Each structure stands twice: as structure tokens, then as C-alpha cells.
Amino acid sequence: MGIRRGIGYWLVELDRLINERFDEDLASGGFSRRRWQVTHSLADGPQRADDIRHALDAFWTDDAEWLTELAGLVADGLVADDAGMLSLTGKGRGAHDAAFVRIARRRAQMADGITDEQFAETLRILRRMVANLGGAASPEVGERQLAR
């Protein structure tokens, strides 16, 4: 009889594979994860630098990392900085869009054989588990109790 693996194993393994595969896809276009997060945050239009930095706060190890990443994006011609208002340049838009195609293919691979309803239900369940363990109120009012 084999070892029974519980949710912790599958979550860690999925997280490992997501990070590994997405990092491969991003690296093939010259992106690090942080570089991708900044450019993707600007894909819908200009944003204030402080807003981007704060939105990605959990990922920066210190303020110097943000400043280094931003300086690199500007120096590489991917992002324009107009007095603290950031936007993608034409080069940045092209690099972002090419990376987005690779990411979309990887997301489709990850969800292969899973219906939209199953995917949505999986996210709902994971949010509920996070809320349960985090001591937060239910993420969805009136949600039925999940079977244990």
C-alpha cells in the first residue's frame, strides 16, 4: 500500500510546479517574476509607482529591491517613468504581450480537463480553507459548510 498524500502535499507540489513552469516561461522572454509582476500591473494603463510598489509589497524583500527593479525596467526601455507615473513603452508592451501568450498557454495546460465550474469551485474552497485557518470571516456570505 502506498503512502496517502493529503492536501498539504498536493498544495506544495502544485505551488512548486506553478513556480517552476511559470519561471521557465517568463525567463524565456527575459523576465524575472518581479519584472513580470510590474509590467503586468501596467498592462491596463499607467499607474503611480507608489501604487505598484504597495500592490506588490509582499514580494519585495526590502525597498532597495523595488528601486533596483524599477531602475532596470526603465534602463531596459520597458517602462517609462514620468515623475512617478509609470507606463509600458512600446518595447515593454511587446515583451509583456509575448510573455502573456506563454503564460496563457501554461494556465490552459494547468486547467486541462477541468471545467470552468470545477476551477471556480476549487478557488472557492481554497479561499474558504484560508479563511478558516486564518480566523477571518467567511469569504462568501451564506456559504454552506463544507463537508469535513
Residue 142 lies in a domain: no
Q: Domain for residue 141, yes or no?
A: no
Q: Is residue 69 part of a domain?
A: yes
Residue 140 lies in a domain: no
Q: Is 144 part of a structural domain of the chain?
A: no
Distance CA 82, CA 75 (A): 14
Q: 3-47: per-residue pLDDT in tens?
A: 889 999 999 999 999 999 999 999 999 999 999 999 999 999 999
Q: Considering the domain boundaries, does residue 139 fall inside one?
A: no
Based on the structure, what is the number of domains in the chain?
1
Domain that includes residue 65, residue range: 7-134
Rounded-to-integer distance, Cα 87 and Cα 77, Å: 11
64 falls within a domain: yes
Cell of 109: 495546460
CA–CA separation, 100 and 37 (whole Å): 11
- Examine the pLDDT at 131 and tell me if it is beyond 70: yes
